[in-house]
Structure 1
Amino acid sequence: MLLRGTRLLCRSTSPLRLRPSRAAMNLGELVTALNEFAPPALAESWDNVGLLVEPSPPHVVSTLFLTNDLTEEVMEEAVQKKAELILSYHPPIFTPLKRVTWGTWKERLVVRALEHRIGIYSPHTAYDAVRHGVNNWLAKGLGACTSVPLHPSTAPSYPTEGPHRVEFCADSTEQLETLLSKIKDIQGISSVTTLPARVEGEEQTRVSLNCSQKALLEVVALLSKNSSLYHKTEILLLQKVMNACFTCVSRLP
């Protein structure tokens, strides 16, 4: 996936530089694109994925630094390259931090990132599970084989329950939380997911859910009573179940 308007730097002896199609991308817009490519909902429940460190807005990204593991050495290299966002496959923040001081190397990473206005994003097991992701790539090392998921994963991009899918963007307010709580109480609702989004330059929350025909009528009625909250609603009829994402692979012929 090539994100428009960013320069990609891969940590290696010869960093890869890709010519951008435009000057830069807003961080929120970039994170939305990354989340759509590999929804965080695909990640394992124990994992810590997504945007882990966010500089104060507005934050524009023109250089995206890629690394497998974010160490202090890698952080200094990203600072020298003037990166605005680091995409680290493994999350540098895993367990909750009780403080942010100069005491441990993980805390120092956060301090350095914020000092230099560098965001940190980690996909980890979301990239493992996404279709044609890391697990598929690893399976190719076995040679000619057929890959099947051992534990199917689901996410907004890969709905598996309910014949209808509803999506809408709304302002991130307490009213939205109340609305989502009411939606989740409706029988026949599944896969309710929220992701950050950017609509016409404003930060929004993108809501996706799958539901039955009966639940759809209740959702539409509920949304009609709260029309001031959301900006756009899409209702999709799921003609067939989409393929599950790969979490584990390999079955030799």
Structure 2
Amino acid sequence: MDTVKVVVAHSERVTLRVGDVFLKVDADQARIDVEVEAMASAPVPTPDILWRKPPVLAIAALRGAPLGRLGEPATASPAAWAAAGAAIRKLHDGPLPPRPGRAGRSLDALAAELDGECELLVTNGVLPADLVTRNRRVAEAAFRPWTPAFTHGDLQIAHVFVDGDEVTGILDWSEAGQGDALYDLATVTLGHEEHLGDIVAGYGTDVDLQVIHAWWSLRSLLGVRWLIEHGFDPHTPGCEVDVLKARM
């Protein structure tokens, strides 16, 4: 009998793997609705949905392995990263979903959330004030007009699977929707700045690197406290705190 592996677990959702089946347990069925809808319409490879019985969604395992993991050396080839960039471009060029996603929050709401989070990080002594202040300034470049695209919204490198130099599928679509394309490019390269050039080469169009850097800072600032509260360590080498330090 196959063993049960806990892939990720926190108070919002749990993902388990049993053999070639992933079981996603989520109390918020709206997130699962978005995920199922996005996988059905995304113009890139996605996992097969095996069955759904709320609060559980069962999906098939993808061929290959993740492009990499945050905090670990990336072992995928530059060609694999370029292929990921090409797949992301295909997604961004696809028909727009019906609603905004995580990458499509209003700039005013996002700025207000960031200001509040920065204040908490400093007041509670989570991060040094100079580190927060510097990255808050870097994040300003993300607050500019953008053309809506079909965005994944949580495009961590662990969600992009490759087999050799081929992208075999993209996982975890619960944050998908209309949004800023550069948010996805920043998320997939977070902590792996050395592969940004490969991603951009595969993406095939000019990219404003200052905005990518801004999203690295913004995403990291918003993520540090959440990660700590949910049992993760953003101080792990190569993770969010190192990303923030790199902007200094």
Q: TM-score range, shorter-chain basis?
A: under 0.3
TM-score of the aligned structures, taking structure 2 as reference length = 0.28
Q: TM-score, normalised by structure 1?
A: 0.28
Looking at both structures, which has the greater relative contact order when contacts are Cα pairs under 8 Å and sequence separation is at least 6? 2
Q: Which structure has the bigger radius of gyration?
A: 1
More helix by share: 2
Q: Comparing both structures, which one devotes a greater share of its residues to strand?
A: 1
